[in-house]
Structure 1
């Protein structure tokens, strides 16, 4: 297949304008001289796949729930999932050519269709149709595994890939079945696992592509310690945005799964708090928890005020969010020793607030197309702070992120396995954020 340079899907305006420079690593005997940075061609490829693959899992779970409920916004939710498919197919096409992109789109769309078949069969109580849908998904994973193995010239091994795809199917079906049975806690646990799992897929696939076309990615590696940190931040920030948007929808609807959706969001906070307390002690953990939980609470206040049609309370919630963004921006600026400026952080956090509030307001007024546009923007936007913050951390302590250039790229298979942990014992912002993310990822998986 003829290669064409990857076309990165356009992103929202950058959240963070950092003062971070690139730190030059020392050259050691037997080690290639390299830059310690999160901003490489291969890291951009991985981040693009992080975004599109994880968003697919998030939107697929939510759309299946909407279908089961016969929700008014089902069509718009499905349309958002289809837009994700278009962007993912365009990305694959930009690597392997238009024909391969179309082939990918056909196969990817079919596998979404089989999930829809499963939803419909469940609604009709048709066990045979459910089994047919699962069989179709099994056939799909074999065909799709062979497709990617061939495209990457066996850098992604078909058998391991098929195993990983089966995990993806199990997670989405598990999330849906649990939701139908009213076991909402399990449903959201599966959803978070499905989102997290796709970051292993993006790591494996980006590593294979970068190895296959080294000149196009300036001989850079998407699986460095610095790129791992960026990807971990991608996961945390985007998951927060997605779960927050859905919890706000559930809140205004008075949905039965509201408490479970809110708890999924709180589980994220608890993981962060435990990690902070483990590094800095109970007092530091409580300080972080207070700030993070308060900003989630202000969104809840806005939802409640909307339900009560209390414009004054809505304004108060927005004012509280404004004060939060100033305090939290100062907190991160101090942690990164000024590598992130508080003004730039505050500006980016305001964009985050505007997107979630915009998505919620549109949903509440029945403008579901706009609601899902804003939700996707909010999800995508969070990949900007992860880049800025990870860059600041790497600049702050480059020694912690030096990696030897491997003699050859590793065998990359998208099988269900743990990512190598970033075992970083450092102070200030690095210890805070790196250990936080490691523990949260391990806890989810």
Structure 2
């Protein structure tokens, strides 16, 4: 019982970490009425990619915690999404940069799987280690992205990525506690947050490469 309580404290504590440092994320300043068709289509495509990220992450959490037979298939599809996201930036930053982002995001997913596994097994030591690696990976992603585009603030990206970890951890915690309403609430917030993150990325790319998004 003490081990279970300690594990829950670690999970809840992790949720609090990101909340305590979270500030208002960068806001999309584009006026949609002034957007070109290429801008709108690119923004929609980026949203689809990151919504897939949050949806398949949730599907994996549900399957892994419940020992469902589709867990491996869901994990495979989730990892493909990270390749899709990396491929989406290759036309702007090149193949190497796109591959690098995919690698970092795949690491993000693999660590997330470790977090879910440790939480499920009530392994507080492994859980703490995985959470620390998860945060470090988020920092690395933020540094990588901000170095590629001056419109992306490293600090803002870090805060947004840590909030993503926070909300995802909230889903895991709620499902372990069978608090279904909180589980749904964490997912809804996480989905909205991920769409904001997608908008930040698409806006930054459009600002950096305006010639690629001219009106037809």
Matched residue, 2:6: none
Q: Corresponding residue for 1:256?
A: 69
Aligned length, in residue pairs: 193
Equivalents in 2 of 1:264, 1:307: separation in Å?
22
Q: Classify 1:284/1:382 alpha carbon distance in 2 versus 1 (closer, same or farther; 3 Å).
A: closer
Q: By how many angstroms is 1:251 displaced? A: 0.6
* Counterpart check, 1:384 vs 2:207: no
CA apart distance, 1:17: 5.5
Tell me which of the two structures has the higher relative contact order, counting C-alpha pairs closer than 8 angstroms and 6 or more residues apart. 2
- 1:15 is matched with 25
| 1:39 aligns to 2:30 (yes or no) | yes
Find out whether 1:238 has 2:46 as its counterpart: no
The offset of 1:381, in angstroms, is: 1.1
> Normalising by the residue count of structure 2, what TM-score does the alignment of the two structures yield?
0.80
Paired with 1:394 and 1:255, the residues of 2 have a C-alpha distance of 41
Q: What is aligned with 1:439?
A: none
> Matched residue of 2:26: which SS?
coil
Matched, 1:359 2:175: no
Q: Against the structure 1 CA distance between its residues 270 and 397, is the aligned structure 2 distance closer, same or farther, given a 3 Å change threshold?
A: closer
SS of the residue corresponding to residue 255 of structure 1 reads coil
Deviation of the 1:280 alpha carbon:
3.7
| Mapping 1:103-252, distance limit 5 Å | 220=33, 224-252=37-65
The answer on whether the counterparts of 1:332 and 1:340 sit within 8 Å (CA) in structure 2 is yes
TM score, norm. by length of structure 1:
0.40
Contact 1:14 1:384 (C-alpha < 8 Å) held by counterparts: no
1:312: Cα distance to partner? Answer: 1.3
Counterpart in 2 of 1:294? 107
1:409-428 alignment, distance < 5 Å: none
Helix, strand or coil at the partner of 1:16: coil
Matched residues in 2 for 1:325 and 1:372: separation? 24
Instruction: Show the counterpart of 1:343.
Output: 155
Q: CA deviation at 1:350?
A: 0.8
Q: Aligned equivalents of 2:88 and 2:43: distance in 1?
A: 18
Counterparts of 1:363 and 1:373, CA distance in 2: 11
Question: Which structure: larger Rg?
Answer: 1
Residue 146 of structure 2: aligned partner: 333
Deviation at 1:342, TM superposition (A): 0.4
Aligned-residue Cα RMSD (Å) equals 2.3
- Out of 97, 121, 126, the position equivalent to 1:308 is 121
The answer (yes or no) to whether the contact 1:17–1:340 under 8 Å persists in 2 is no
Partner of 2:18: none
8 A Cα contact 1:15 1:349, kept in partner = no
Q: Distance in 2 between matches of 1:261 and 1:334?
A: 32
State whether residues 339 and 392 of structure 1, in contact with CA within 8 Å, keep that contact through their aligned partners in structure 2: yes
Deviation at 1:321, TM superposition (A): 1.2
Correspondence for 1:269: 82
